[in-house]
Amino acid sequence: MNKLLEVKDLNISFHTFAGEVQAIRGVNFDLYEGETLAIVGESGSGKSVTTKSIMQLLSANSEIKSGEILFNDRDIVKAPEKEMQKIRGKDISMIFQDPMTSLNPTMTIGNQIMEPLLKHRKLNKTEAKHRAIELLNLVGIPKPQLRIKQYPHQFSGGMRQRVVIAIALACAPKVLIADEPTTALDVTIQGQILDLMKDLQKRIETSIIFITHDLGVVANVADRVAVMYGGKIIEVGTVDEIFYNPQHPYTWGLISSMPSLDTTEEELYVIPGTPPDLLHPPKGDAFAPRNPYAMKIDLEEEPPMLKVSDTHYAATWLLHPNAPKVDPPLAVKERWNKFQKQVGSLNGGK
């Protein structure tokens, strides 16, 4: 597969009254043609900030301190705003968390879908309207000829999310960023949206960056997974490597805390402690204060990305040849096995 997007040593800070928040600290990842890369982690780990920087949609008090974002071998960190306006919506599109706030309540659904087609594809209004109807039909909106004249408040939450997907896919972008697109939806609609995205990805051959804190979603949609913590990617690998052979204690904690249908409140695992204060980033491994397997070196020196396989890397000193042998907690394997059975039953045993 060809490499489509490459993020190199990205560092982003927010300037606040309290001081400089080092939100993103040396993030590196690649995205290949036709793949889905999931970025997972707790709230505040840096998932959304990382991907918004790709679109150059960061807030006014933010600053990309250093690093590169290479798209088609061009560093778009240095791209002027006029060039980014040509890229946004055409080559790189984004689906945001809340479809109601993403849509303009004063514009019809049809005009909102037509807007990128008129701007980037240079279609006339008749052609753009015809294409908008096709897109609504493509994302499963019934009676698109009627719906195109309606406003966002006349759609349900799931339907609004389908409209947002139609807008994002209007120009067949090379990269689609989905920022927790199913968070506000119930489980049934969530499954429909995920199936829709997988189907559309095959049709238009786009690459997807899928941001989520829900590992169950990751198992269903991703090819590769990047785990973020404290503004860094601390483990990356194929979806099977991350779930069946996780190496970082934080990843163990995430998998252990996945709920299943037979989980009781008393059984649900919770990672102890709180995320690090990025106003004053820790000296060593940011996860060390919450890590029951932390060693002295974790408090003194930040671990590098150590190789597990050609596709699997993790930033933990436990992978060092001189580290003691530590096996993942039994809860990790039990939780994943329960989840697999749950998925199988929901899919009719397939």
Q: Measuring CA to CA, how many Å separate 49 from each of 121, 232, 235, 258?
A: 29, 11, 18, 24
What's the token pair of residue 174? 């090379």
Is pLDDT at 166 greater than 60 in this prediction?
yes
* Alpha helix segments (H runs only) across the chain: 47-55, 81-87, 99-102, 109-120, 125-138, 144-147, 157-169, 187-204, 215-221, 239-244, 249-256, 330-346
Residue 344 has pLDDT above 60, yes or no: no
pLDDT digits (tens, 9 = 90+) for 103-114: 999 999 999 999
Lowest mean pLDDT among 212-226, 239-253, 271-285: 212-226
Which residue type, as a one-letter code, is found at position 7? V
Nearest-angstrom CA–CA distance, 133 and 54: 29
What pTM, to 2 d.p., does this model score?
Answer: 0.90
Please check the confidence at residue 345 and state whether its pLDDT lies above 60: no
Residue 119: is its pLDDT beyond 70? Answer: yes
| pLDDT tens-digit readout, 47-77 | 999 999 999 999 999 999 999 999 988 999 9
Tell me: the pLDDT tens digits for 253-279?
Answer: 998 887 765 655 556 778 889 999 999
Q: What is the pLDDT, as a whole number, of residue 1?
A: 73
| Residue 178 near residue 209, CB atoms below 8 Å | yes
Of 8-17, 153-162, 211-220, 275-284, give the lowest mean pLDDT range. Answer: 211-220
Q: How confident is the model at residue 181 (pLDDT cuts 50, 70, 90)?
A: confident
346, pLDDT greater than 60: no
pLDDT digit string, tens, across residues 289-318? 999 999 999 999 999 999 999 999 999 999
Instruction: Note the Cα 292 to chain centre separation in Å.
Output: 28
Taking the mean position of all CA atoms in its chain, how far away is CA 337?
24
In the chain, what percentage of residues exceed pLDDT 70? 92
- Mean pLDDT throughout 144-169? 92
d(CA 132, CA 89): 15
Is residue 336 predicted with pLDDT exceeding 90? no
Are 13 and 65 within 8 A, CB to CB? yes
Mean pLDDT score across all residues of the chain: 89
> For tokens 């709180």, what's the residue?
274
- Dump pLDDT digits (tens) for 76-95: 998 999 999 999 999 999 99
